[in-house]
Structure 1
Amino acid sequence: MSILEKKVSNIGEGVKIREYLKSELGLSTRLIRSASIDKRIFVNDEVVKMNRVLNEGEIIKIDLAKDESQNIAPEKMDIEVIYEDEDILVVNKKPFMVVHPTKSYQSGTLANGIINYFMETNQNCIVRLVSRLDMNTSGLIIIAKNQFSHGMLSKEMSENKVEKRYLAIVHGKLEKTEGTIDLPIYRPEGIENGTKRIIDERGQRSITHYKVVESFEDASLVECKLETGRTHQIRVHLSNIGHPIYGDTLYGYGEEEEDLIKRQALHAYALDFKSPRSGEMLSLKSKLPEDMVELLDKVHSKK
Structure 2
Amino acid sequence: MNKKIFTIPPELNGKRLDYIIGLFMDLPRKDAKKIVEDGFVLVNNLRVTFPSRKVKKGDKVILIEIEKSESVLKILYEDRSVIVIDKPPGLITQRINSEAGYAVDEELRRMGKNIYPVHRLDRETSGVMVFACNTNARDFLMNEFRSHRVKKIYIGVVEGKLDKDKGVLRGKIQKTKEYAETYYEVLKELKGATLLKLFPRTGRTHQLRLQFAQIGNPIVGDKKYYKIKKPVILFERQALHSYAIEFIHPEKKEWMRFTAPIPLDLKRLIERLT
TM-score > 0.5, shorter chain as reference: yes
Q: 1:36 corresponds to which residue?
A: none
Q: CA deviation at 1:103?
A: 3.3
Structure 1 residue corresponding to 2:75, chosen from 78, 81, 92: 81
AA at the equivalent of 2:93: V
Please name the residue that 1:27 is paired with: none
Q: Does 1:90 align with 2:84?
A: yes
* Closer/same/farther in 2, CA of residues 254 and 95 from structure 1, 3 Å limit: farther
| RMSD (Å), alpha carbons | 2.1
Measured in 2, the distance between the counterparts of 1:176 and 1:90 equals 34
2:269 is equivalent to residue 295 of structure 1: yes
Amino acid at match of 2:116: R
Identity between Structure 1 and Structure 2 (%) = 29
**TM-score normalised by structure 1 residue count:** 0.64
Inter-partner Cα distance in structure 2 for 1:75 and 1:181: 44
SS in 2 for 1:206: strand
Q: 203, 206, 223: which is aligned to 2:180?
A: 206
Query: Does the 8 A contact of 2:116 with 2:133 survive in 1?
Result: yes
Cα shift at 1:142: 1.1
Per the alignment, do residues 81 and 137 of structure 1 end up closer, same or farther by CA in structure 2, a change over 3 Å counting?
Answer: same
Alignment partner, residue 65 of structure 2? none
Corresponding residue number in structure 2 for 1:105: 99
Cα–Cα, structure 1 residues 107 and 296, in superposed 2: closer, same or farther, change >3 Å? closer
1:182 aligns with 2:170: yes
- Residue of structure 2 aligned with 1:268, choices 242, 247, 262: 242
Which structure 2 residue ranges, 5 or more long, are not aligned?
A: 1-67
The one-letter amino acid of 2:218's match is P
Residue 102 to residue 205, structure 1, CA distance change in 2 (3 Å): closer
- Offset at 1:139? 1.4
Query: Once the 2 structures are TM-superposed, how far is the Cα of residue 108 of structure 1 from its aligned partner?
Result: 2.2
Bigger share in strand: 2
- The Cα shift of 1:183 comes to 2.1
> Does 2:130 match 1:142?
yes
Cα contact 2:91–2:101 (8 A) shared by 1: no
Shift of 1:145: 0.3
1:271-290 matched pairs, under 5 angstroms = 271-290=245-264
Q: How far does residue 177 in structure 1 lie from its aligned partner after superposition?
A: 0.4
1:157 to 145, 159, 163: 145
Q: Following TM superposition, by how much is the alpha carbon of 1:75 offset from its aligned partner in structure 2, in angstroms?
A: 9.0
Q: Where does residue 114 of structure 1 map in the other structure?
A: 108
Instruction: Please list every run of 5 or more consecutive structure 1 residues that lacks an aligned counterpart in the other structure.
Output: 1-73, 187-196
Shift of 1:297: 1.3
Equivalent pair of 2:172/2:180 in contact (CA under 8 Å): yes
Mark the structure with the bigger radius of gyration.
1
The aligned residue for residue 47 of structure 2 is: none
Q: What one-letter code is carried by the residue in structure 2 that aligns with 1:147?
A: T
What TM-score do you get using the length of structure 2 for normalisation?
0.70
1:234 maps onto 2:208 in alignment = yes
Aligned to 2:46: none
2:248 touches 2:254 (CA, 8 Å); kept in 1? yes
Please name the residue that 2:156 is paired with. Answer: 168
What amino acid is the match of 1:141? M
User: What does the per-residue CA deviation read over 1:150-199, in whole Å, with 9 as the maximum and x for residues that have no partner?
Assistant: 1111111110000011111011121100101012125xxxxxxxxxx36x
Residues 1:220 and 2:214 aligned together: no
CA distance in structure 1 between the partners assigned to 2:122 and 2:270 by the alignment: 21
